Amino acid sequence: MLFRILNLSILFGFVTHHVTSQIPMTCTRMAYVTDSRKTLYIHGGNCEGFGASQLFSLDLTQQSLTKSMPSWKELTPAQGSATPPAAEAHSMTISQDSRTLTLWVGDLTYSFNLMTMTWTGPEILSKNATNCPALRAVKDLRSGDVYVPEGYNEGTQMAIYRYNGRFSWAPMPTAAVMPLESWLYSAVWSTLRGTMLLYGGNDLDSDQGSQFLVEYDPRTNAWSRIPTRGISPGDIYNHCMVPAYNGTKMVVFGGQHNKMVGSLGSIYVLDLESMSWTKGADVDRALWRSNMACTVAGDNFVAWGGKVNYGIEIYL
């Protein structure tokens, strides 16, 4: 699914595929990451009830996205590689040199070398790493460190995996910053602010959603709540949030709301310079979804996979 976000003039369209093309299975709860070379990588996911090990890349250049068949490429492991892991509700990062993908699966990691096309792992993360699905690993694009909110000590602390191989942790936000524990959130690195942004999520005990945008600043090792203007997405979870326009904006799409059944089809753009939200038109109801893979390529927002929850799960 593609649509244009420039000036919030939104263009929707189905992406068609030839039978002979290499395309991923349409799944939900995939790991995904976009590199600086305009390539989207997706791994695994829940594909109609089973965990997948598929690994694909998508060329995000404008020429590729305007074709009737996007340039998906299956990344098949070389002979002698370790077995590709099957996983869902996990996270993925890419190395500073764009040569290695790392999967963050509970308290384990797996790595895929894009040069040799080989898997290694699993490797056990630090002692007391949180073994829980749906945690998000976010790479600090300046230092190469990786932050996993709620990734340590049963979710009470944030795990920090240093670029030099060392481990540390930081507290999660206080109740004054984020009143409820927030799972199923989205978190991304902001190149403009030099911080990690976390939005939304759901408290599993109270079933209350979070409507707050919070920020972790590695320079101060502190969290803060960011005040914003305009109509925000509200208390959503299982949504996606991705950077756009060289990190000057964030796009939030889809997800779920604990006060309604089913997935959402709304899209919002947050201007990180003015901290103001702008709401776009909802997508066609057939495209409402949650737990999808997302990215931005130029003026196009791209979503792949996901599901609609209306009593039954429909994979898109």
d(CA 16, CA 118): 31
Q: Is residue 251 part of a domain?
A: yes
Residue 312's contacts (CB-CB under 8 Å, 6 or more residues apart) are none
Q: Is residue 163 part of a domain?
A: no
Instruction: State the total domains in the chain.
Output: 2
Domain boundary among 111, 135, 159: 135
d(CA 316, CA 303): 10
Whether 315 and 182 share a structural domain:
yes
pLDDT at 66: 61
Whether 181 and 311 share a structural domain:
yes
Q: What does the pLDDT average to over 17-29?
A: 71
What band does 67 get if pLDDT is binned at 50, 70 and 90? low
pLDDT at 49: 84
Torsions phi, psi for 7 (to 5 deg): 55, 20
Q: Around Cβ 61, how many Cβ atoms within 10 Å?
A: 13
Whether 81 and 193 share a structural domain:
no
d(CA 112, CA 123): 13
From residue 61, give the alpha-carbon distance in Å to each of 36, 58, 148, 153, 302.
12, 9, 30, 41, 12
pLDDT at 9: 29
Domain boundary among 110, 135, 160: 135
What band does 32 get if pLDDT is binned at 50, 70 and 90? very high
From the list 181, 175, 178, 184, the residue with the least C-alpha distance to 206 is 181
What are the pLDDT digits (tens) for 168-220? 999 999 988 987 778 899 999 999 999 999 999 988 777 777 889 999 999 99
The percentage of the chain sitting over the pLDDT mark of 90, rounded to a whole number, equals 67
Q: Is residue 189 part of a domain?
A: yes
Q: Is residue 151 part of a domain?
A: no
The percentage of the chain sitting over the pLDDT mark of 70, rounded to a whole number, equals 88
From the list 289, 275, 260, the residue with the least C-alpha distance to 213 is 275
pLDDT at 35: 94
Whether 209 and 126 share a structural domain:
no
Amino acid at 33: V
CATH code for position 273? 2.120.10.80
Whether 184 and 247 share a structural domain:
yes
Whether 128 and 184 share a structural domain:
no
Q: Is residue 143 part of a domain?
A: no
Q: E-assigned strands of 10-71?
A: 31-34, 39-43, 46-47, 50-51, 55-59
d(CA 128, CA 144): 22
pLDDT at 221: 95
Q: Is residue 301 part of a domain?
A: yes
Asked if residue 145 lies in contact with residue 112, where contact means CB atoms within 8 angstroms, the answer is: no
From residue 174, give the alpha-carbon distance in Å to each of 51, 107, 152.
35, 24, 16
Amino acid at 159: A
Whether 123 and 203 share a structural domain:
no
Range of the domain at 89: 28-135
Whether 126 and 190 share a structural domain:
no
pLDDT at 12: 34
Whether 315 and 209 share a structural domain:
yes
What are the pLDDT digits (tens) for 135-169? 999 999 999 999 999 999 988 999 999 998 899 99
Q: pTM of the full predicted structure?
A: 0.91
Average pLDDT, the chain: 87
Whether 314 and 183 share a structural domain:
yes
For the ranges 15-24, 62-71, 77-86, 214-223, the lowest mean pLDDT is seen at 15-24
State how far Cα 98 lies from the chain centre: 17
Asked if residue 9 lies in contact with residue 277, where contact means CB atoms within 8 angstroms, the answer is: no
Q: Is residue 13 part of a domain?
A: no
Q: Is residue 16 part of a domain?
A: no
pLDDT at 168: 93
Domain boundary among 135, 161, 193: 135
Q: What does the pLDDT average to over 116-126?
A: 94
Whether 182 and 125 share a structural domain:
no
Asked if residue 132 lies in contact with residue 159, where contact means CB atoms within 8 angstroms, the answer is: no
Whether 307 and 198 share a structural domain:
yes
From the list 39, 316, 54, 32, the residue with the least C-alpha distance to 186 is 32
pLDDT at 41: 98
Q: CA 152, 240, 133 angle in degrees (round to 5)? A: 35
Q: What does the pLDDT average to over 20-32?
A: 85
pLDDT at 13: 32
d(CA 289, CA 273): 29
Asked if residue 16 lies in contact with residue 69, where contact means CB atoms within 8 angstroms, the answer is: yes
- For residue 62, the surrounding DSSP H or E stretch is helix 62-65
What are the pLDDT digits (tens) for 248-299? 999 999 999 876 778 999 999 999 999 999 999 888 888 899 999 999 988 8
